[in-house]
Amino acid sequence: MSALLALAFLSQSIVTECDRLAAHPSDPDKVAPGVPEGKVDLPAAIEACQAAVKADPANGRLNYQLARTLGYAGRGKEAAPYREAAVKADYPQALFVVGYIHLLGHNDAAKDVCKAGDLIHRSALRGRHAGLVGFPHWSLQGAFNGCVVKQDRSEMRGFLEQAKTMSKGDFYQMLLIESLEARLVGN
């Protein structure tokens, strides 16, 4: 069993051409430097990521990166199964991004605020900074009203505390977090 776990970990950390061409700059679990959206060589990245996913179909990071490149290429419907594979793998960046896409109904994804709330909450539980801040923000706006996703104020305060430790030295992030904390106490 431990050999299987070691093999799974190794497969998650191997740097592929897909990683070099399509890693997201804000992805905390990327294994190569991130490439901003406007600098992604879409044809090369799509080809590399398709090959990488074919070689390692259960890898959440690679599925996320293939979905990212297809989405940027305007091929949202084609990206959907790779987004879902990355979500199924609990890849934190995918949990947040796919939640955000469903929150707004972007890139050929159906607008589904309840699915969005669940995914963004799960990204926060896995320590994704955008989820730690985004989930309380949208919850306080009422975006997830009527959804079954847990919207516990104490848990959201914990999310913001965790985000604070990740945001030290960033004035604007700290300002946003402090504003959300005040709203959590005031509501």
Within-domain flag for 128: no
The pLDDT, as a whole number, for residue 161 is: 97
The pLDDT, as a whole number, for residue 169 is: 86
Q: Domains in the chain: how many in total?
A: 1
pLDDT tens-digit series, residues 53-71? 999 999 999 999 999 999 9
The mean of the pLDDT values for the chain is: 93
Within-domain flag for 183: no
Within-domain flag for 142: no
The pLDDT, as a whole number, for residue 3 is: 47
Query: Does residue 187 carry a pLDDT above 70?
Result: no
Q: What are the tokens at 180?
A: 């959300």
The CATH number covering residue 77 comes to: 1.25.40.10
Within-domain flag for 62: yes
Domain span at 27: 1-89
Q: Predicted confidence band at 186 (pLDDT cuts at 50, 70, 90)?
A: confident
Upper half-sphere CA count for residue 91 (Cβ side, 13 Å):
27
Within-domain flag for 16: yes
CA gap 177, 168 in Å, rounded: 11
- Long-range CB pairs of 103-110 (<8 Å, 24+ gap) are 103/138, 103/143, 106/76, 107/71, 107/76, 107/79, 108/76, 108/77, 108/79, 108/80, 109/76, 109/80, 109/83
Within-domain flag for 71: yes
Q: Predicted confidence band at 12 (pLDDT cuts at 50, 70, 90)?
A: low
The pLDDT, as a whole number, for residue 89 is: 97
Within-domain flag for 134: no
Identify the helix (H) or strand (E) that includes residue 132: helix 129-140
Find, among 63, 80, 51, the residue nearest to 24 by Cα.
63
Query: Does residue 17 carry a pLDDT above 70?
Result: yes
Q: How far is CA 71 from the centre of its chain?
A: 14
pLDDT tens-digit series, residues 141-174? 999 999 999 999 999 999 999 999 999 889 999 9
Query: Does residue 2 carry a pLDDT above 90?
Result: no
Within-domain flag for 23: yes
Query: Does residue 6 carry a pLDDT above 50?
Result: no
Cα radius of gyration rounded to whole Å, the chain? 17
Q: Predicted confidence band at 5 (pLDDT cuts at 50, 70, 90)?
A: very low
pLDDT tens-digit series, residues 89-140? 999 999 999 999 999 999 999 999 999 999 999 999 999 999 999 999 999 9
